[in-house]
Amino acid sequence: MYLSLLVLVTACTQKPKENWIRLFNGVNLDGWIPKFSGYPLGENYNETFRVEDSLLTVDYSRYDTFRGEFGHLFYRKKFSHYKLRVVYRFTGQQVPGGPDWAFKNNGVMLHCQSPESMELDQNFPVSIEAQLLGGDGTHNRPTANLCTPGTHVYINGELYTKHCLNSSSPTFYGTEWVTVEIEVQGDSIFHHLVNGDTVLTYTHPIIGGNFVPDNFALPEGTPLKEGYIALQAESHPTQFKKVELLDLDKNESR
């Protein structure tokens, strides 16, 4: 009787299984589509995005110099409520011609406009960016920061209109793997976590700011409730070991 009751109580208190989806399968770029500034949708310029040793890699070995070919690799589906987990590291040297601010700089773009709607020469999709940074040996450069190309958010209930906001994470100076998780609740609340610790929270993303393209389909002030996910290529080599998602719209724990 006691054993049966213990089994029942244990079963009732166990968390529902979380069904994480591997957006990157470790083999190829199936399910992803590239868009580089100045090039048509689907053209993987200089094979910048590739899979090497089971790692999703941003590679600049075929560049002689960087001429503003900012790239984004979009996952094929939109999401609204989810947790996204990436395990990444910076490697090698920044390609010649890359801007100073792009040293050890990458990003995970959330609630992106569709890749099909990007203009030919558009550098960055309208989105919310979880910015990934690495240390330069001198400056404090936290990771999992916020940047807002074509968007604004609210911080502690007040509209935040600056382009970027640093998180409270430590600086990672080497080539160590870093785990960043972002919890996205539609147009409600966003949490950034680094190696399990919450380092930034903001709410209510909307369209706005200087990075909104002319004739953009959504007017300024429109809430961002869903969108695509994209990884960046901004001139510094980067590797991703994992890119996985827990769809909270479908998961029983929501």
pLDDT tens string 140-192: 999 999 999 999 999 999 999 999 999 999 999 999 999 999 999 999 999 99
Provide long-range contacts, Cβ within 8 A and 24+ apart, for 162-168: 163/209, 163/211, 164/131, 165/200, 165/202, 166/142, 167/142, 167/143, 167/192, 167/194, 167/199, 167/200, 168/142, 168/199, 168/200
What structural domains and CATH numbers belong to the chain? 16-247 (2.60.120.560)
Q: What is the pLDDT of residue 1?
A: 47
Summarize pLDDT for 211-228 with one digit per residue, the tens. 999 999 999 999 999 999
Which of 189, 201, 180, 177 is CA-nearest to residue 225?
189
Q: What is the pLDDT of residue 252?
A: 46
Q: Work out the average pLDDT over 96-112.
A: 98
Q: What is the pLDDT of residue 14?
A: 62
Q: Work out the average pLDDT over 1-18.
A: 54
Give the confidence band of 13 by pLDDT, cuts at 50, 70, 90: low
Q: Work out the average pLDDT over 9-34.
A: 83
Q: Who wins on pLDDT, 116 or 252?
A: 116
Spatial contact of 224 and 208, defined as CB atoms under 8 Å apart: no
Give the confidence band of 229 by pLDDT, cuts at 50, 70, 90: very high
Classify 173 as helix, strand or coil: coil
Give the confidence band of 17 by pLDDT, cuts at 50, 70, 90: confident
Classify 9 as helix, strand or coil: helix
Q: What is the pLDDT of residue 172?
A: 97
Q: Work out the average pLDDT over 6-33.
A: 78
Which of 143, 150, 144 is CA-nearest to residue 128?
150
Token duo for residue 60: 């600049």
Give the confidence band of 16 by pLDDT, cuts at 50, 70, 90: low
CA–CA distances in Å: residue 192 to residues 76, 130, 131, 202, 248: 23, 8, 10, 9, 16
Summarize pLDDT for 40-98 with one digit per residue, the tens. 999 999 999 999 999 999 999 999 999 999 999 999 999 999 999 999 999 999 999 99
| Alpha helices (H) along the chain | 2-13
Beta bridge partners of 194: 180, 197
Q: What is the pLDDT of residue 250?
A: 75
